[in-house]
Amino acid sequence: MKELPLTQVEIAEAERELGVSFPEEYRSYLREVSAGGALFRLERTGRGWWWAGNDAWRRELLTLPFPHPDSYADADDELMDRQPEVEAFEDDSAYQTALHAWADEAERFEELKTAGAVVIQEHGCGFSTLLALTGSLAGTVWWDGRATCDLIVPLSLDHVSGSRPVQFGEWLDHGSWALLPPGWGSSLPSAPVVQR
């Protein structure tokens, strides 16, 4: 069954309720192509507008600016350096308490790495494609590869000279697998996500 596009009124209602303005290319996709299709569907649920396939806890992070991965690299290293070591504690109970507190902090830090973005496609094995909706990177598309390499990287037409992240429309024309950095798994030929 083909998933119908959204009306302009529905899109405006979703933006108002979610507290974000969709990038123009994504808004056009929702209005002219589909509310889902090859992407996770934006739908009205019992709890309001949200994307299928996205965890509910992501809603609280949606209005925060999507951070460029370079912006938190040092903080990520510092957090890893602070991971409790069992030898530093006199008993296992104190170690377990410190480890749980650190793990909670690390989990929250991981969640913040995708603030202001939604998953628009899942690719299995923990890989997904993210669309940044807020901040200076709004409208750009990213590969969440944290399942194997702890990195979120831009999907790009040119990884050699700067890796400018593609815009949503460019991504629709090529697909995620064709826009990965060299050596990032089975690079597939460019294929449109949807025919436009």
**So what's the pLDDT on residue 40?**
96
Q: Report the C-alpha gap between 51 and 40 in whole angstroms.
A: 6
Q: What mean pLDDT, rounded, does the chain reach?
A: 93
Q: Report the C-alpha gap between 120 and 186 in whole angstroms.
A: 20
**So what's the pLDDT on residue 196?**
62
User: Which helix or strand (DSSP H or E) is residue 143 part of?
Assistant: strand 141-144
**pLDDT tens, residue by residue, 106-124:** 999 999 999 999 999 999 8
| Regions of the chain with pLDDT less than 50 | none
End-to-end CA distance of the chain: 18
Largest Cα–Cα separation, the chain: 64
* 3-state DSSP assignment of residue 51: strand
**So what's the pLDDT on residue 185?**
65
**So what's the pLDDT on residue 191?**
82
